[in-house]
Amino acid sequence: MKYEKWSLGYWLLKQYVRFVDWIIHKKIILNGTENIPRNKPILIAPNHQNALSDPMAILLHTRFQPVWLARADIFKPGIITLALRFLKIMPVYRMRDGKDQLAKNEKTFADSIKVLENNCALALFPEAAHSAKRQMLSHKKAVPRIVFQAEEKAENNLDIHIVPTGIYYSSYWKFNRSVMVNFGKPLLVNDFLEAYNENPSAATLTLRDALEKAIEPLTINIKSKENYEIFELIRAIYGKAFARKTGQQNGFVQRFKSDQQLVKKLDELEPNNKEKTEKICNAAKRFDAQVRKYGLRSWLVENPENNFWKLGFNKLLLLITLPVFAYGFLFNAIPFIAIDTIVRKKIKDFAFWSSFSLVLGFTLFPIVYLLELWAVAAWLPLWWHKLLFIVSLPFAGKLAFRWYILLLKTIGRGRLFILKAFRKQQWQSLKNQQEKLFDELDKIV
């Protein structure tokens, strides 16, 4: 297979999956696309946290048909291998695959060089594994080795550009999540060639470290191993307040930038003041436990003003839009609930939840929609009625889900109203607990 060739079948599949991806996400934000050069051999090097969703975030939202390198153990004999090759994914063999398998990498590297020689996009995860955390793993040497070998074969005439890329998700698997892809300024392999000619091993390490340093500002990287979960909890509880404190507006991109600063402050605190870190972490855990005890969320406790009026407005909006929810739920509930149940019960690795949900979604939903069209066809006499019906289903499903989220928020507001009105002592205790936690966090930032 000539991976560097443009594929019509790939392009058609990409358009369909791009629509499905749009349905799944609330927001899709691309930053730094001007950093991706044209008419140059490109190697896209993103962080890796969310299995198949990571390459989808790149290939669905750029002009390329990038050729990906992936670990060889996913290439099972038969249809799986055929599908992966159709998707322009090439195997990379590791020592754990068997020492005798490593020789097969020669073909992979040769094919990779062809991709670069034809000014196409190659893509590779420098970490060589996904973490399922907002935490970068140590980079491996594969990216420098491939680009140096390619330049060596082409007598240093390729001018390869490595594009550091950061992928950030508001949630790793929830429906209606947001995703942001940040493309950084490219690293020019030409800048490292002289050092490579003098000392290949040292230059490989230098380029590896330079790439890791270039990717880190493009994503959120919680470095703490001991307190990772608590720092992530603090980010969720205190993030909005910190954004306001630093003068950031309440938008997805602005919140991402302020969260980067907050995480950096927490990571700096941990080695310098372990006692203070432990005190703040314990306070955050206690506050979170109390919030959950009352069936609330921290954002409700943080902003309880005008809750009565917001509660009334939400109820009215839910009532008015109930028919929209009923329509969307009726024709989308079966595949949505089925996929959610299968993924949660059968997929043990949390990092693969979004990947399996995506694959099951773009295969199962069309089948169910066609069956539903067949079931109601007798009530839709005209062809354009049928077309309008089937086209409306995914949009109605997305609206139904957002109605459901509004319902959950309204229930939360109802619990907040009851707590403030009838259990004032408990409410005041909870509010005081939050204010003390925020005061402690204000001091360290």
Domain residue ranges of the chain, discontinuous segments joined by +: 8-218, 308-429
pLDDT at 98: 79
Q: Summarize the confidence of residues 68-72 as an average pLDDT.
A: 84
Q: Does the pLDDT of residue 425 top 90, yes or no?
A: yes
**CATH code at 8-218:** 3.40.1130.10
Q: Does the pLDDT of residue 80 top 80, yes or no?
A: no
Q: Supply 376's token pair.
A: 């109601």
Q: Summarize the confidence of residues 317-340 as an average pLDDT.
A: 97
Q: Residue 214 CB: number of other CB atoms within 10 A?
A: 19
Radius of gyration of the chain (CA): 25
How does residue 150 score in pLDDT terms, banded at 50, 70 and 90? confident
Q: Which of 129-133, 203-207, 330-334 has the lowest mean pLDDT?
A: 129-133
DSSP states of 190-224: HHHHHHHHH-HHHHHHHHHHHHHHHHGGGS-----
How does residue 2 score in pLDDT terms, banded at 50, 70 and 90? confident
185-218 residue pLDDT tens = 999 999 999 999 999 999 999 999 999 999 999 9
Q: Which of 31-45, 60-74, 368-382, 421-435 has the lowest mean pLDDT?
A: 60-74
Q: Is 153 helix (H, G, I), strand (E, B) or coil?
A: helix
Q: Does the pLDDT of residue 239 top 90, yes or no?
A: yes
Q: Residue 191's Cα: distance from chain center in Å?
A: 31
Q: Does the pLDDT of residue 180 top 80, yes or no?
A: yes
Q: Does the pLDDT of residue 81 top 90, yes or no?
A: no
From the list 214, 221, 179, 186, the residue with the least C-alpha distance to 60 is 179
* Distance separating alpha carbons of residues 298 and 303, to the nearest angstrom: 9
The conformation of residue 176, written as its DSSP 8-state character, comes to: T
pLDDT at 250: 73
pLDDT at 1: 67
Q: Which residues pair with 188 in a beta bridge?
A: 161
How does residue 444 score in pLDDT terms, banded at 50, 70 and 90? confident
- Give the angle subtended at the CA of 269 by the CAs of 265 and 273, to the nearest 5°: 165
pLDDT at 286: 97
Q: Does the pLDDT of residue 58 top 70, yes or no?
A: yes
Which comes out higher in pLDDT, residue 113 or 375? 375
Q: Does the pLDDT of residue 310 top 90, yes or no?
A: yes
Q: Which of 112-116, 196-200, 293-297 has the lowest mean pLDDT?
A: 112-116
Q: Summarize the confidence of residues 340-368 as an average pLDDT.
A: 89
Q: Which of 17-31, 117-131, 309-323, 396-410 has the lowest mean pLDDT?
A: 117-131
pLDDT at 349: 80
166-176 residue pLDDT tens = 999 999 989 99
Q: Summarize the confidence of residues 424-431 as an average pLDDT.
A: 96
CA-to-CA separations, 316 to 201, 319, 327, 344, 397, in angstroms, rounded: 67, 5, 18, 34, 21
Q: Which of 40-54, 88-102, 112-126 has the lowest mean pLDDT?
A: 88-102
